[in-house]
Amino acid sequence: MNGQPLLEIADLRVTYWGRSLLGFKGRPFHAVNGANLTIRAGETLGLVGESGSGKSSIANTVLGLVPASAGSIRFGDVDLAAMNTRYPPAVRNQIQAVFQDPYSSLNPSMTVEDIVTEPLRVHTGMSRAERRARAVELLKLVSLSEEHLGRHPHQFSGGQRQRIAIASALALQPKLIVLDEPVSALDVSTQNQIINLLYERRDALGIAYLLIAHDLALVHHISDRIAVMYLGHIVEEGPSDRVYHAPAHPYTKALLDAVPLLDPEAQRRRRAARKAAPALDAQRVAAEGCPYRNRCPYVMPRCATEMPPAYPIAGGGTANCFLYAEGDARAESAATVAGAAP
Ligand SMILES: Nc1ncnc2c1ncn2[C@@H]1O[C@H](COP(=O)(O)OP(=O)(O)O)[C@@H](O)[C@H]1O
Ligand SMILES: [Mg+2]
C-alpha cells in the first residue's frame, strides 16, 4: 500500500431518466446524490447499505456502464466521469469487475479456459499457448487447477464460479477490481472462503478493491475503510474498525443492529417500529434535509430542512449528522450508545 489516491470520486451524481410512452425524457430519478469517496492504491473500500441505496449505481459508473450525471471520478490522472462511459482500452484494462450472480455472469457456452483467457485474447498479443499457461497460473491463484480448464460453468458450484470470475478479473493485473456483492448469492461458509481469497490476492498482488456488500460485518475485516450509503447519500465514512466498533451515524448503528433477533417478541416490535416509520421517498430527500430523518431516534428540527454536512468523528472519518456538529451534547450520548455495542 503506497498511500497514493488511486480513485477519487467527488460529488458524483447518478440520475436515471424515466421514459414517457412517447419516448420523451420523463421524470429524473436521483440514485446517487453527491457521493465523495477515495480509494488508495492497494486499499479496500467497503461500500455498504441496504438494497436500493445506490451502491451499484456508483459501481457501474466507475466501470463505465452507466454515465455520471455530475461530478468527477479521478483514476490516476484521468477523469472517468468526463469520458462518458467511453474508456480507452488502457484505462479499461486497469479496472475489472466481479458481479453478484455467478450463474449469469459467466457465459455458459465457454470453457473455463476461454473465460479466463478472454481478457488476454482481447487486450494482449499473447499466443494461445502463452494464454493457456497464464490461465493455469490464474486458476492456481484462486485454488482451482489445470484440470478445470476444459469444463463449463454449469459443472461448478456457486463458490467455484465466483473463483473463476475472480481469476478472469485478475488476468490483466488491474489496479482496481469493483466487486458488486460478490458473495451475496453464496452460502455463509463459501462467503467466508471467497472473502479470504480476495484478501490474500489483494495483499499478494497489490490490487485495490471497491467491495460492495449489504452486510457490514462480513466485509469489515477485509476493508481498510468503510462507507455507508442510505437513499443515494454517503452518510458515514471512516477506518473500518472505527465504523464497525463505534458507528457514528444513527443509520450505521441500525445497520449493525439489523441482525435477526432470536426473541420473536423483540422481532415483532422491531417490525412494527419500521412499519410506523417507512423510508422517505428518495426523490423528496435531496431538497428536504437528512434522508434518514423519519427513522432516526435522534431527529431534530433542522434535519428536515438542512442536509447535514460531513462532520469529523473521533477515531477517524466523518458522519453526515448534526449530532456531530460542534457543541451538540447529544453526540456524546449517541457515541456512548455506539461504544456499548460489543
Ligand atoms: N437503470 C435504471 N433506471 C432507473 N432506475 C434505476 C436504474 N438502476 C437503478 N435504479 C434505481 O436507483 C436506485 C439505486 O439502485 P442501485 O444503485 O441498484 O442500488 P443498490 O445497488 O444499493 O441496491 C434504486 O431505487 C433503483 O431502483
Ligand atoms: Mg446493487
Cell of 236: 458515514
Q: 318 CB under 6 A from ligand 1?
A: no
Three-state SS for 110?
coil
How high is the pLDDT of residue 274? 66
Q: In the predicted model, what is the mean pLDDT of the chain? A: 89
Is the pLDDT at 286 greater than 60? The verdict is no
Q: Starting from the CA of residue 31, give the closest ligand.
A: 1
Q: In whole angstroms, how far apart are CA 273 and each of 269, 270, 278, 279? A: 6, 5, 9, 12
- DSSP state for residue 258 in the 8-state scheme: -
Contact predicate 250/296, CB 8 Å: yes
Instruction: Report the length, in residues, of the chain.
Output: 342
Is the pLDDT at 265 greater than 70? The verdict is yes
CA angle 225, 52, 72 (to 5 degrees): 55
Buried-state track 191-211, b at ≥16 Cβ within 10 A, e below 16? bebbbebbeebbeeeebbbbb
How high is the pLDDT of residue 28? 87
- pLDDT class for 341, splitting at 50, 70, 90? very low
Domain assignments of the chain as residue spans, ordered by start: 1-94+210-342
Strand partners, 46: 211, 226
Question: Which atom of ligand 1 is nearest to 51's Cα?
Answer: 23
- Determine the residue of 15, 47, 56 to mutate for testing ligand 1's pocket, defined as the one with the most ligand atoms within 8 A of the Cβ atom: 56
How high is the pLDDT of residue 328? 65
Which range is least confidently modeled, 136-140, 172-176, 217-221, 335-339? 335-339
Please give the Cα distance from 263 to 118 (Å, whole number). Answer: 51
Is the pLDDT at 342 greater than 60? The verdict is no
Question: Which atom of ligand 1 is nearest to 58's Cα?
Answer: 17
CB neighbours (10 Å) of residue 220?
18
How high is the pLDDT of residue 339? 44
Phi then psi for 320, rounded to 5 degrees?
-90, 80
Is 1-94+210-342 CATH 3.40.50.300? yes
278 CB-contact burial (10 Å; exposed 0-12 / middle 13-18 / buried 19+): exposed
Highest mean pLDDT among 11-20, 76-85, 198-207: 76-85
Please give the Cα distance from 267 to 339 (Å, whole number). Answer: 23
Question: Which atom of ligand 1 is nearest to 212's Cα?
Answer: 21
Q: In whole angstroms, how far apart are CA 253 and each of 49, 116, 216, 240? A: 12, 40, 11, 14
The pTM score is 0.90
- pLDDT class for 1, splitting at 50, 70, 90? very low
Is the pLDDT at 245 greater than 90? The verdict is yes
Pick 1 or 61 by higher pLDDT. Answer: 61
Pick 295 or 238 by higher pLDDT. Answer: 238
How high is the pLDDT of residue 283? 56
Indicate which residue's Cα is closest to atom 2 of ligand 1.
16
Is the pLDDT at 197 greater than 70? The verdict is yes
Residue 287: CB partners within 8 Å, gap ≥ 6? Answer: none
pLDDT, tens digit (0-9, with 9 covering 90-100), for 67-121: 999 999 999 999 999 999 999 999 999 999 999 987 778 899 999 999 999 999 9
Q: 29 CB under 6 A from ligand 1?
A: yes
pLDDT, tens digit (0-9, with 9 covering 90-100), for 19-34: 766 777 778 899 999 9
The residue with cell 415483532 is 268
Measured in angstroms, how far is the CA atom of residue 55 from the centroid of ligand 2?
6
261 CB-contact burial (10 Å; exposed 0-12 / middle 13-18 / buried 19+): middle
Q: 55 CB under 6 A from ligand 1?
A: yes
